[in-house]
Structure 1
Amino acid sequence: MTLVKSLLAIPELRLRLRTGAGRLDRAVSRVYGTELPDPSRYLSPGELVLSGLLWWRGPADAEPFVAALAAADAAALAASGADTGGIPPELVEACERHGIPLLEVPPDLSFAVVTERIILELAADRDTTSEARKRLLAAAAERDPLPALLRHGVAELGAPCAVATGAGRVVAHGGPAPEAPRELAERFLRGGCRATVHGGVTLLPVGERALVPWLLVVGADRAGWPAGRQAVAEELAGLVELARARAGELRRAADRVAEPLLRLVGGGTAGEAELAGALGAAGLPAGARLRVVLARATGSPPGLAAELLTEVLADHPGRAVVGEVGTETWALVDAREWPAGWAAAAASALSTLEPALAADRVLLGIGGPSTVSGLRGASEEARHALGVAARRGDRIAVVSGDQIGAHHLLLAGAPDELRSSLRQRILGPLLAYDEAQHGDLVRTVRVFLECSGSPAAAAKALHVHVNTLRYRIARAGELLGLDLTDFINQVDVYLALCVEADTHQPRRP
């Protein structure tokens, strides 16, 4: 990497610094000689501008010339005062004002010598970049390329390197792991997955067509990078994408051996011997207890639900198999080390990804744990849990059967027509009374049943006298034609109330 300070260190050039001592770490990309009073049309970022000051006519000429260099982000100005009696003080002041390092070329040194020597310095830097690229390509050919690529990235870029997903998961890192990876991912996604700098850390996109974005995190600000270092970083990001694609192909090939299990989950059939073989081939022990996860991404491109399931299960310590059965996307997960808060963690990860999700809604339902013999039941539980998630108004919802009462699971499995009939048949008179009288008997009955039929507890919860509570329950019983102190009647009414509550939940397609 050729910096302005590198040029000052070349003894045969004998360059003298006139101003800009705090800006000598600027990278030089090429040399451009000019004698135009306004060279702005021909300047490029990172150039060392070489001038004999033939354009100089008076003090007023300094400002427009130096302003043009600053606007183009030139690296520095190297000037000779041989024809002007030395470097004009106005030019020094303008360079200081605009933050442009000014190097004075000795009057007895020809510009041809200066240009040739700097070009040799830049060529050596390009050779270094080429060698870095060769080393990265060699690392990409290794059996486990990602760790090797990041180790080489650290050496070539001189900074810690890591790969993270848009959900904030650190896939791998060379050097210290990045701090606050979820915050970095959120910043990256809000910026439209473009290269950016956040808190002195450079974030580069890994691939452009991935359904779940990845980013390369380099622990240095790219603002001072020369073109060569930028090229190395972009090459590293491209090779990480290839490593990701290769790992994805291997993972999908490994998951295909579990297709008999997935077909069973999706409602198909499989013989006992076929299932036993599929368990072994999938790396799951006989008699393993499994969790079943059903994912749905509405309005999304093909494969997004599978990619999202793969992402949220990536750090699970046990074996996880992801596949599609018809139009549905399922995962079978070894449940021996299933975290208690997995549903909340998955929802949080998906929420981080939300700005980049090409889907109207993302829903996950979780069933189990169950052995292979009970997979059908676990898959139905997952399906019903997903139905509960669908009845919520959130764009992202993750619901586990563990979070749902058995009665809700039973109701979720009932057709909508049956649920509507149950609600109207049992609660119809009470609903009609409340609507006509602007009453609150439905809520009173709900609280009474949720307090296990205790008048005292229900009265306290409703902030009414216990006698008022007893009167209201008696009146509700008359309207319903039921004795609300009878347990069987209480079960029927409570199930109907659960349907009523679901009916008023906001729904989205």
Structure 2
Amino acid sequence: MTTVKTLLGLPGLRLRPRAGADLLDRPVTRIYVTELSDPGRYLSAGELVLSGLLWWHAPGDAEPFVAALARSGAAALAASGADSGGIPDDVVDACVRHRIPLLEVPDDLSFSVITEQVVLALAAASDSARKRLQAAAEAPVETLAERASAELGLPCWVLSGLGRLIAGTAPLPIPPEDVVRRYAAREPGPLTLVPVEGRHAVPWLIAVGGPLSTAQVELAEEVAGLVGVTRARAVRPEASPPGEVCVVALRTEGSDESRDVLGELLPDAVLLESSGETSYAAAARPSVAGLSIVEPLLRATRILCGVSDPGPRAEAAESARYAVEVAARRPGRVAVVRTGAVDAHELLLAGAPAGLRAALRRRVLGPLLAYDAEQHTDLVHTVRVFLECSGSPTRAAKALHVHVNTLRYRIGRAGDLLGVDLTEFTGQLDVYLALRAGD
């Protein structure tokens, strides 16, 4: 990494610090020559600004110039006072005030020589940095993040597209899920984001704590490539956790991303099976909170997830299979169903084929459906409300805003049409399952 102190040691430049002697460790990423009185719009972080001070005419002129350097994050100002009898005190004072290192350029030194020397130093440092990074190609992701931070002079993080912090050299300034959301929406933020290339459905991101020069972006991309290789070499567990497990069934409708998403969502889980749109994995305590974060980055039209209760693996897998079918009947682009949070009858019906559910509805409710169609009544709705009120005529009548005697008459008429005693539990159960089969 090239710093301001590095430039002071370049042979033949003879640069002399006039301010900011305690700031010489700042990284330098490029050189920019200007004689504008306010160059702010053209500056970027890490630049060595070279000026002959042609813009300075009187005390006070230095304030807007140096303030612009400070706002942009410039590394230092190298100035020549050959045309003004030396660097004015006004410039020195402004650099001290805004904490900008000030280097005095000898009067007999050409700016072209300085530019050439600095460019060569930056190129050599970039090449050396690339070689040092490549030497760490076999290192863990945590080590690669540390190397990247050292070469770029900025904190670095590696994040999953599910909002999982994989490695980092400092606390993140914003939550990891917000980093991913901003990346998906292409919103600007406090971090520079570089995607990790690969054939994975869920991307990883290199996040750097500040703006980058072109050379720094190239280094960050080099790091991203190395992280991608490390990611591809990762080995998943082959044995299920001991004891009871939860099984997660994940379906990515309209795409074959389920395996990658599930593998990234549960890196410590055991992949059980995968058939393109739907994959299954076993884990001790799975968390699926990242699905809503990654959804904008996927091709899938919907993401459906079923999570079983803990149990023997085969039993848990069947529960997860039924739960994902329940999720398919829920609204939204991301639907998650845990078996413990749904009624048993809903779980059982979800696993029944569509044809079987339709046949059940016709066999049990056929006469009532036909009567409603012919008489323009709604006895089916009346029966459903009655059953959902636990067979209480009083509660059902109140819910339907009718007299309780009217409710009793309708239930009796419906029972006659169905050939079922709707005040008896078994009959109630069959009819309610048939009603729910149409949901």
Task: Report the TM-score, using the length of structure 2 for normalisation.
Answer: 0.74
Which residue does 1:240 correspond to in 2? 227
Which residue does 2:258 correspond to in 1? 305
Distance 1:328 1:77, change over 3 A: closer
Which residue does 1:257 correspond to in 2? none
Query: What is the distance in 2 between the residues matched to 1:378 and 1:77?
Result: 66
Which residue does 1:351 correspond to in 2? 292
1:331 and 2:323 matched: no
Aligned-residue offset at 1:498: 0.6
Q: Is the 8 A contact 1:212 1:308 kept in 2?
A: yes
Cα deviation, 1:394-447, whole Å, max 9, x if unaligned, reads 332233333343323333343333322221232234334445555443232112
Which residue does 2:380 correspond to in 1? 442
Cα deviation, 1:302-360, whole Å, max 9, x if unaligned, reads 4x1111111222366xxx234435x56443414xx4x4xx5xx52x4211111111122
Q: Amino acid of the residue matched to residue 310 of structure 1? A: G
Q: Is the 8 A contact 2:254 2:300 kept in 1?
A: yes
Distance 1:104 1:418, change over 3 A: closer
Identity percentage over the alignment? Answer: 48
Aligned-residue offset at 1:211: 1.1
Distance 1:209 1:191, change over 3 A: farther
Q: Amino acid of the residue matched to residue 271 of structure 2? A: V
Query: What is the distance in 1 between the residues matched to 2:271 and 2:166?
Result: 19
Which residue does 1:283 correspond to in 2? 239
Q: Amino acid of the residue matched to residue 309 of structure 1? A: L
Query: What is the distance in 2 between the residues matched to 1:313 and 1:484?
Result: 47
Q: Amino acid of the residue matched to residue 495 of structure 1? A: L
Distance 1:203 1:493, change over 3 A: same
Which stretch has the larger CA shift, 118-127 or 479-488? 118-127
Distance 1:118 1:285, change over 3 A: closer
Distance 1:497 1:226, change over 3 A: closer
Q: Amino acid of the residue matched to residue 363 of structure 1? A: L
Q: Amino acid of the residue matched to residue 321 of structure 1? A: L
Q: Amino acid of the residue matched to residue 219 of structure 2? A: V
Which residue does 1:95 correspond to in 2? none
Query: What is the distance in 2 between the residues matched to 1:121 and 1:81?
Result: 20
Query: What is the distance in 1 between the residues matched to 2:272 and 2:192?
Result: 33
SS at 2:290 equivalent: helix
SS at 1:445 equivalent: helix
Query: What is the distance in 2 between the residues matched to 1:352 and 1:31?
Result: 40
Distance 1:290 1:228, change over 3 A: same
1:175 and 2:170 matched: yes
Q: Which structure shows the higher helix fraction?
A: 1
1:376-391 matches, cutoff 5 A: 378-391=316-329
1:136 maps to which of 133, 138, 147 = 133
Structure 1 gaps of 5+ residues are 18-23, 36-42, 57-65, 93-100, 255-281, 503-509
Q: Amino acid of the residue matched to residue 110 of structure 1? A: D
1:484 and 2:422 matched: yes
Superposed CA RMSD in Å reads 5.0
Cα deviation, 1:146-183, whole Å, max 9, x if unaligned, reads 12222333433344332211111112233335641111
Distance 1:212 1:117, change over 3 A: same
What is the number of residues matched between the two proteins? Answer: 427
Distance 1:139 1:456, change over 3 A: same
Distance 1:236 1:417, change over 3 A: closer
Distance 1:212 1:473, change over 3 A: same
